[in-house]
């Protein structure tokens, strides 16, 4: 891939992130949901976004399945493609945090190195890793899209948790037990966000 051109120079703009955050009435941050397919990332992030929206928080939800229909439609599930997927999403999330939004992302993001790469892109404290910790057996029993069944039958290769790795976070800021009811997980997230002064209590 082409590296950036040394003749391309960064511009600082007069309206800063701090000014935009004051206008929104809250900080910008990324809530980076990670977990196996079927762990509940989209469900919990979706419920939380609705709750935040009702509270007047400016949000945006970036979801793996949706992003792969557009921004990342050229990417598959090799390690290199997953890395590029997460890099692009990280850059988009970074811009949205600069715009003062609370960004929720729901990507498997199976590799520690890529999650660290996104953490390193963002200002300190603005990347909040949320591990949706649901055992593989539960995800496989849920199997809402029938993908585990296909992976077990050998019809789908490189499927996370079956024949592709998932590196669980060891120091996620927030560790959710994905077997708890969605309402409880949503309440826990709201509590954590107010404790971290992302939203007002
Ligand atoms: N091989 C393979 N492995 C894992 N997942 C697969 C695969 N093929 C398709 N899918 C579907 O794609 C969704 C995961 O996309 P992501 O962009 O989140 O993946 S990654 O972060 O780049 O690893 C994932 O969605 P979720 O179930 O919502 O996680 C699957 O529906
Ligand atoms: N906490 C939960 N308890 C029970 N079922 C859940 C929970 N979270 C999600 N589900 C269900 O599990 C399935 C997978 O959830 P989803 O949010 O699509 O996972 P992911 O985005 O991680 O692939 C869906 O059918 C959803 O309704």
Read off the pLDDT of residues 119-173 as tens digits, 9 standing for 90 and up: 999 999 999 999 999 999 999 999 999 999 999 999 999 999 999 999 999 999 9
Residue among 109, 170, 194, 201 flagged as catalytic: 109
Adjacent-strand bridge partners of 34: 131
Name the burial class of residue 170, with classes exposed (0-12), middle (13-18) and buried (19+) by CB atoms within 10 angstroms of its CB.
exposed
Can 170 be counted among the known catalytic residues? no
- Using the predicted structure, report yes or no on whether residue 201 has a pLDDT greater than 80: no
Beta carbons of 190 and 174 less than 8 angstroms apart: no
**Ramachandran bin of 44, using left for φ above 0, alpha for ψ from -120 to 50, beta for the remaining angles:** alpha
Separation CA 162–CA 45 (nearest Å) = 24
Separation CA 175–CA 189 (nearest Å) = 10
Ranges assigned E (strand) in 58-201: 59-63, 102-106, 127-133, 174-177
Residue 154 assigned to a binding site: no
Q: What is the pLDDT of residue 6?
A: 87
**What ipTM was assigned to the predicted interfaces of this complex?**
0.99
What are the pocket residues of ligand 1 if the criterion is a CB atom closer than 6 Å to any ligand atom?
37-38, 42, 64-65, 68, 77, 82, 85-86, 107-110, 145, 147, 156, 158-160, 164
């Amino acid at each position: 891939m082409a590296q950036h051109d040394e003749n391309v120079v960064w511009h600082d703009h007069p309206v800063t992130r701090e000014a935009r955050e004051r206008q929104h009435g809250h900080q910008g941050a990324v809530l980076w949901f990670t977990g196996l397919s079927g762990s509940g990332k989209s469900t919990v992030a979706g419920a939380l976004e609705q709750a935040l929206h009702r509270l007047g928080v400016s949000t945006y939800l970036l979801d793996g399945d949706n992003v792969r229909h557009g921004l990342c439609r050229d990417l598959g599930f090799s390690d290199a493609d997953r890395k590029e997927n997460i890099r692009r999403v990280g850059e988009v999330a970074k811009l949205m945090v600069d715009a003062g939004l609370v960004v929720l992302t729901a990507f498997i993001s199976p590799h520690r190195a890529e999650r660290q790469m996104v953490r390193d892109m963002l200002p300190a404290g603005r990347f909040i890793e949320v591990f949706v910790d649901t055992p593989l057996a539960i995800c496989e029993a849920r199997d809402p899209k029938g993908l585990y069944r296909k992976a077990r039958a050998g019809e789908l290769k490189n499927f996370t948790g079956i024949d592709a790795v998932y590196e669980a976070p060891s120091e996620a800021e927030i560790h959710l037990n994905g077997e708890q009811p969605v309402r409880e997980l949503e309440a826990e997230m709201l509590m954590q966000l107010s404790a971290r002064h992302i939203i007002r209590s």
